[in-house]
Structure 1
Amino acid sequence: MTRIIAGAAGGTTLTSVPGSGTRPTTDRVKEALFSRLEAYNVVHGAHVLDLFAGSGSLGTESASRGAATVDLVESADRAAAVAQKNADAVNKVLGWTAARAHRAKVETYLTRAAEDLTWDLVFLDPPYDFGETALIEILADLVVHLAPGAVVVLERSSRSAEPHWPEGLERFGEKKYGETRLWFAEPSADSAH
């Protein structure tokens, strides 16, 4: 069972994506991640982008903890429907529309996003077998949409090598939790809007 851990919608049960093809972030990893993000002071009031959202667990957790807006991007039909259902459940508790799901490929969503659209916090949780070249292209497309002081969180297998960060994005931290490794990056000083 997946749930919202803390915030205004804390305890809300989230629907999981049926079948295979998604890999939900465990509550243990989610709790540690949000503890760190709150120490960075990047959640409250943030514009959040959750790429490869699956059920939308990370994005909806952000909404519960005070994010201003949350965009959940997922290409698989069933997962996108579950992400919208979970966004609706959290929005109902909050009393306003903080989170919304978009059924789209991540690459398409980013290339079609308005040039002046920026996010403060971005989650990327691609399938572990997602290609390095495609990942680098997504990270490069993301750079122009990062607000000053933005934080990018990339979730990968603990056995994965560090990704090659594109120009304009710098790693500032990493943390391993069992089979999961989180990489933290931010815009380079010369690339921030």
Structure 2
Amino acid sequence: MTRIIAGQYGGRRIQTPKGDGTRPTSDRVREALFSSLESELGGFVAELRVLDLFAGSGALGLEALSRGAGSAQFVESDPKAAAVVRANVKELGAPAAVARVTAERYLRDTPAEAFSLVFIDPPYALPTAQVAALVATIKASCAAPEALFVVERSTRDPFVWPDGVEGLRSKKYGETTLWYGR
């Protein structure tokens, strides 16, 4: 089981999908990520809208909500993982919606929304160029002007931001690297 680290839901445990299809972000990496985000954002505010692509258990978006973000949209194509995210959202009473579609289909079919914080944590096997293309699509269609992007990838796969997104920094945590861009 995974736990929410801090905020309104701090200490609460959430379910994680069973099987090989997901790779939950460790508590240690999430704690470092959110310490960095709170510094970058100056804290989480109720107006902050979060997009969590490849949501898995929803831990990243739920942590943002716990710390004060206003709402979250979870996107997960795996039926079992999407059911876990829905159960976690319901259990916490979180202000969130869950879409059980691929990231590409969600971005193609969903009306433009202004997301301020975007988490992209795809399976490590997804080619880096495809992840960068998703970032470019989000930037063009549904990102707020100063949106902050966080991409989680294998440390073995370097990530290059698409045109229009400035890379801010990256941080390695063993096999996982987080890339921050705006």
Q: 8 Å contact 2:49–2:117 — kept in the other structure? A: yes
Match of 1:112?
109
Q: 8 Å contact 1:64–1:90 — kept in the other structure? A: no
Which segment drifts farther, 130-139 or 2-11?
Answer: 130-139
Structural RMSD (CA):
1.2
Match of 1:58?
60
Match of 1:190?
none
Any idea what SS the aligned residue of 2:31 has?
helix
Displacement after TM superposition at 1:133 (Å): 3.1
Any idea what SS the aligned residue of 2:34 has?
helix
In structure 2, which of residues 145, 150, 155 is the aligned counterpart of residue 153 of structure 1? 150
Q: 8 Å contact 1:172–1:185 — kept in the other structure? A: yes
Which segment drifts farther, 132-141 or 24-33?
Answer: 132-141
Q: How does 1:69-148 map to 2 (within 5 A)?
A: 69-91=71-93, 97-115=94-112, 117-144=113-140, 145-148=142-145
Match of 2:13?
13
Residues 141-187 of structure 1 deviation map (CA, whole Å, 9 limit, x = unaligned): 11122213211000001111123x2222111111001111000010x
Gaps of 5+ in 1: 92-96, 187-193
> Which whole-Å CA distance do the structure 2 matches of 1:135 and 1:111 have between them?
15
Residues 44-86 of structure 1 deviation map (CA, whole Å, 9 limit, x = unaligned): 2210000000010101111111111101100000000001111
> Which whole-Å CA distance do the structure 1 matches of 2:170 and 2:126 have between them?
19
Gaps of 5+ in 2: none
Any idea what SS the aligned residue of 1:37 has?
helix
Any idea what SS the aligned residue of 1:72 has?
strand
> Which whole-Å CA distance do the structure 2 matches of 1:149 and 1:38 have between them?
15
